[in-house]
A and B are shown apart, each in its own frame.
Chain A
Amino acid sequence: MDEPPISRGFRSKRQDQGPTNRIPPGQYVTTDFPVLSAGPTPQSRPGDWTLELQLNGSRLGKWTWAEFQALPQTTIKTDIHCVTKWSKLDTTWQGVTFDDLLAAAAVKEPPAPYIMAHSDGGYTTNVPVADLVGGKGMIATLYDGAPIPPPHGGPARLLVPHLYFWKSAKWARRLRFMEEDEKGFWESFGYHNHGDPWKEQRYDGD
């Protein structure tokens, strides 16, 4: 479309939205924490939880809840952006960075360029390794200093805050290295393969 039609009398109701250079195009700031999930919330208890790192069907590393808690913990404060248009500023998460997971598995260099994250309930999402290393991604277990509530992905979720939040897979259980990129759950339903909010990569072709 060339010129968008003007909606007479429509104007911003935004007040105190914080610095605009932190809000990607098409997003609005919310102080709520909306829940978007394709199915029921899995009820996974930390006692049953394990996290596994895989390559070509073989195990690079596996951690129980207690073992995971003993890994180096990192706290970050970051903005998050959901493809359904809301952004939430200054959220605080604690967990283990992807870098520290690789180190704990004695993996010096990532053995393949892509990761598929697998979750309880069957959810998947694909993320380039380049978007996880260098402190850019973590497996988080605390939100705002407390265990992540199950509707928000607890006991543990992937956190890749510089991409739209569907990439931050809730209920994460397995990270699988892939030589070739494959589409995850929403990616196969027409959502963008990469999902950079600053490029407004919401859907295929954006």
Chain B
Amino acid sequence: MTAIEPQAIPARRLEWRRAKARQVITETPRVKSLLLDVAGWPGHLPGQHVDVRLTGEDGYQAQRSYSIASPAEDTLVALTVERVKNGEVSPYLVDEIRMDDQFELRGPIGGYFVWTVAMGGPLCLIAAGSGIAPLMAMLRHRERQSADVPSVLLYSARSLEDAIYREELDAMAHRNPALRVVGALTRRQAEGWTGYRRRVDRSMLADTCFPPDRAPRIFVCGPTPFVEDVSSFLIELGHDASMIKTERFGPTGEPA
């Protein structure tokens, strides 16, 4: 071979970085937010995620993916983690991590399930449970940019106590009339609850999401059966499949 091979340009590797817990917030009995100081964090887009790697004393390592809940405007990276029953990494992150504890993280990862103010609206966000985390990054970014993009969040939780970021969301909607926050409590409703008292269904989506002729950008995140149902309803209502971006988690058949 005499031909000179073109030198491949090495892609920039996503390095493992050291993350230090600066604040641990109890969101619900099963969910905590970890606010992390990440050495050399390159920034991210709302909706992206990270890989977390824990190393045990015997050298054993485990990796999992978590959505980023903080906007790129913040210096700390927030992960909102739900304790998965019989899980390996999430119980440790939720129950064991204290201030100044360290672990490894790399990212940001993904680039499809993202929204920035520059992408415009209207914006329709639909979440169940801890699926709200990446959508919260979008809403926090929207607020930090003082944007008035017409937006709606439809958030399904089992009960009021299971609803993450409740006070922050209420305050956000109070400050910005272009944002509407709608709750659906599926199992237990507090006295005086004025939101929906059932699972998200087609008529609820028709009533809360912007109509198809306004071509909203739609983001759906939650357990697999929830996302499958919601995205099918949205298609039936006439929304274009290409406008619906989804993130699913958990097994196929787990009840939402």
Contact of B111 with A189 in the complex, beta carbons under 8 Å: yes
Given known contacts A4-B104, A13-B86, A203-B109, is B249 in contact with A39 (CB within 8 Å)? no
Contact of A85 with B63 in the complex, beta carbons under 8 Å: yes
B58 near A: Cβ within 8 Å? yes
Contact of B102 with A205 in the complex, beta carbons under 8 Å: no
Identity of the chain A residue whose Cβ is nearest the Cβ of B86 in the assembled complex? A13
The number of chain B residues touching the other chain, given as a range, is 35 or more
Contact of A5 with B18 in the complex, beta carbons under 8 Å: yes
A6 near B: Cβ within 8 Å? yes
B242 near A: Cβ within 8 Å? yes
Identity of the chain B residue whose Cβ is nearest the Cβ of A4 in the assembled complex? B55
Contact of A34 with B224 in the complex, beta carbons under 8 Å: yes
Given known contacts A40-B246, A84-B65, is B14 in contact with A12 (CB within 8 Å)? no
Contact of A40 with B13 in the complex, beta carbons under 8 Å: no
Contact of B61 with A4 in the complex, beta carbons under 8 Å: yes
Q: What A residues does B51 contact at CB under 8 A?
A: 202
How far, in whole Å, are A91 and B248 apart by their CA atoms in the complex? 21
Q: What B residues does A203 contact at CB under 8 A?
A: 13-14, 109
Q: How many residues of A contact B (CB 8 A)?
A: 42
Contact of A36 with B10 in the complex, beta carbons under 8 Å: no
How far, in whole Å, are A39 and B217 apart by their CA atoms in the complex? 12
Q: What B residues does A42 contact at CB under 8 A?
A: 241
Contact of B104 with A10 in the complex, beta carbons under 8 Å: no
Partner of B250, one of A9, A14, A34: A34
What is the CB-to-nearest-CB distance from A107 to chain B, in angstroms, rounded to a whole number?
29
B12 near A: Cβ within 8 Å? yes
A70 near B: Cβ within 8 Å? no
| CB interface residues, A 106-163, toward B, < 8 Å | 121-122, 149, 151-152
| CB interface residues, B 91-139, toward A, < 8 Å | 92, 96, 101-104, 109-113
Contact of B241 with A39 in the complex, beta carbons under 8 Å: yes
Given known contacts A9-B96, A33-B252, is B63 in contact with A26 (CB within 8 Å)? yes
How far, in whole Å, are A27 and B237 apart by their CA atoms in the complex? 39
Proximity string of chain B (216-256) to chain A, C-beta cutoff 8 Å, 1 when within and 0 when not: 00000000100010011011000001101110111110000
| CB interface residues, B 11-58, toward A, < 8 Å | 11-18, 51, 53-58
Identity of the chain B residue whose Cβ is nearest the Cβ of A185 in the assembled complex? B112
How far, in whole Å, are A160 and B96 apart by their CA atoms in the complex? 39
| CB interface residues, B 56-79, toward A, < 8 Å | 56-58, 60-65
Contact of B65 with A204 in the complex, beta carbons under 8 Å: no
Given known contacts A8-B57, A28-B62, A40-B232, is B249 in contact with A34 (CB within 8 Å)? yes
A74 near B: Cβ within 8 Å? no
What is the CB-to-nearest-CB distance from B130 to chain A, in angstroms, rounded to a whole number?
15
Contact of B103 with A205 in the complex, beta carbons under 8 Å: no
Contact of B110 with A189 in the complex, beta carbons under 8 Å: yes
B201 near A: Cβ within 8 Å? no
A64 near B: Cβ within 8 Å? no
What is the CB-to-nearest-CB distance from A188 to chain B, in angstroms, rounded to a whole number?
8
Q: What B residues does A4 contact at CB under 8 A?
A: 16, 53, 55, 61, 104
| CB interface residues, A 1-51, toward B, < 8 Å | 1, 4-14, 26, 28, 30, 32-43
Given known contacts A40-B241, A121-B241, is B251 in contact with A6 (CB within 8 Å)? no
Identity of the chain A residue whose Cβ is nearest the Cβ of B96 in the assembled complex? A9
B88 near A: Cβ within 8 Å? yes
Given known contacts A4-B61, A26-B61, A85-B64, is B15 in contact with A10 (CB within 8 Å)? no
8 contacts between A and B (CB under 8 A): A1-B18, A10-B56, A11-B58, A12-B56, A13-B88, A35-B248, A152-B252, A205-B13
Other A-B pairs, 15, CB within 8 Å; known A4-B16, A37-B246, A204-B12: A1-B18, A7-B55, A8-B96, A12-B60, A32-B250, A33-B252, A34-B249, A34-B252, A37-B248, A38-B112, A39-B244, A85-B64, A190-B109, A190-B110, A205-B14
